Amino acid sequence: MYHYRRALLPLIVGGIFILLVSCDDENDTTSDAERSTTVTSFEAQERNLSQEFSVSAEVQAYQKVFVASRISGVVEEVNFEEGEVVEQGETMARLDVRQHQAELRRAEAVLDEARDSYEASKKLYERDAISRSEYLEDKRDYEQADSEVELLQLNVDFGEIKSPTDAIVTQRHIEVGNSVSENERVFDIADHDMLVIRPGVSEINLGLLDEGDNLDVNLDVYPDRTFSGSIRRIFPERDETSRLFTVEVELDQEEDKPVIRPGYLARPRFAADEDLTVTVVPSEAVIEREDTYEVFILGEDQRYVTSQTVEIGIQRDGYTEIRSGLEKGTQIAASNVEDLEDQSRVNVVGEFRRHGFRN
């Protein structure tokens, strides 16, 4: 029994030692975790910090046409309605032109008679068989009859109301059986291949805008999407009512973007100063200490940071310009920097995301 207890004693002591060592390692690990500061990472990037202003205006079709009837009559056929595509020269509606056709046939009979009389007079006049006045009278009658036929033929042709261009029907104002008068508006059509916005801009903001400038456009109907546009033209005179200058912006309609329709409210973003594309970091990543500014660069293993003094510039949209001390592409700590020092241990939990400012 005594020898058994002596053999067991070293085993018990060894187990206690291993347990104590394990506890010490666990405490060290816990201590390291407690000493680490949780941060998010950010890669220094180039960004345009130009001052912008936005003006709202409706999307419009660049080319809008009001199709009118060129004669009076009763509508007997309507071939298109709102939303349908019509090609140039297609018949959109027909009017009852039977009366014009009857008048045309009568005028053609008069023309045949006048032509025969004119041709006979011409031969007699060439042989000096009739006077010049008689010849000219028959010639005048023939030309008048010919003009009458031409006019009545136009009235018959105008019975077909045709599209003057390729477009989409936006409004139809007639139905079969309606009586329309000459020059009455019967269809509205628009070319949706080119969509524009025409906001008014004050003369104060007009100075840095030029034709051809590219810009971003937001549409209220698609709040999470940004569209591209360019300044097509700047009107030469201001509007007398609003006292603003109209700036026409052409929208780029890309295949992978949602459909844009006239009437949508758009907000083009214009630059109010020169292009300011600079290296930036989130303003939260910069800390001021004793009249100097610092950021904290993440180590290769992203477990510690190194303090770096930088020179800053403008601050806008939640970002700060870095003029010197940090290169584009450098990974830095972007949150909880007030708790950091040079060589502080960190725990990176994700990438920094900026919300609530322009993209």
Q: At 269, is the secondary structure helix, strand, or coil?
A: strand
Rounded Cα–Cα distance for residues 113 and 115 (Å): 5
Q: Can you say whether the dihedral through the CA atoms of 43, 49, 55, 57 is positive or negative?
A: negative
Query: Do residues 303 and 72 make contact, with C-beta atoms less than 8 angstroms apart?
Result: no
Query: Do residues 281 and 332 make contact, with C-beta atoms less than 8 angstroms apart?
Result: yes
Rounded Cα–Cα distance for residues 44 and 118 (Å): 92
pLDDT in tens, 14-60: 544 444 444 454 444 445 555 799 999 999 999 888 778 899 999 99
Rounded Cα–Cα distance for residues 200 and 265 (Å): 14
Query: Do residues 74 and 195 make contact, with C-beta atoms less than 8 angstroms apart?
Result: no
pLDDT value of position 272: 75
pLDDT value of position 197: 97
Could you confirm whether domain 52-62+193-271 is CATH 2.20.28.120? no
pLDDT in tens, 337-351: 999 999 999 999 999
pLDDT value of position 352: 93
Q: Give the burial class of 191: count Cβ atoms within 10 A of its Cβ; 0-12 exposed, 13-18 middle, 19 or more buried.
A: middle
pLDDT in tens, 55-83: 999 999 999 999 999 999 999 999 999 99
The pTM assigned to this predicted structure is: 0.59
pLDDT value of position 2: 45
Q: Dump the DSSP string for 167-220.
A: EEEEEE---TT-EE-TT-EEEEEEEEEEEEE--EE-HHHHTT--TT-EEEEEET
Residue matched to tokens 């014009």: 100
Query: Do residues 283 and 319 make contact, with C-beta atoms less than 8 angstroms apart?
Result: yes
Across residues 161-185, what is the average pLDDT?
A: 96
pLDDT value of position 23: 46
Across residues 278-290, what is the average pLDDT?
A: 93
Structural class in CATH, domain 36-48+276-351: mainly beta
Query: Do residues 156 and 98 make contact, with C-beta atoms less than 8 angstroms apart?
Result: no
Mean pLDDT of the chain: 88
Rounded Cα–Cα distance for residues 97 and 347 (Å): 85
Rounded Cα–Cα distance for residues 194 and 167 (Å): 11
pLDDT value of position 271: 82
CATH superfamily of the 98-157 domain: Helix hairpin bin (1.10.287.470)
For residue 249, which amino acid is it? V
What are φ and ψ of residue 255, in 5° steps? -65, -35
Rounded Cα–Cα distance for residues 302 and 313 (Å): 27
Rounded Cα–Cα distance for residues 151 and 154 (Å): 5
In which residue ranges of the chain is CATH 2.40.420.20 found?
36-48+276-351
pLDDT in tens, 226-283: 999 999 999 999 999 999 999 999 999 887 778 899 999 999 999 877 778 899 999 9
Residue 271 tokens read as: 């630059």
In which residue ranges of the chain is CATH 2.40.30.170 found?
52-62+193-271
Q: Is the pLDDT of residue 336 over 70?
A: yes
In which residue ranges of the chain is CATH 1.10.287.470 found?
98-157
Across residues 147-165, what is the average pLDDT?
A: 96
Q: At 155, is the secondary structure helix, strand, or coil?
A: helix
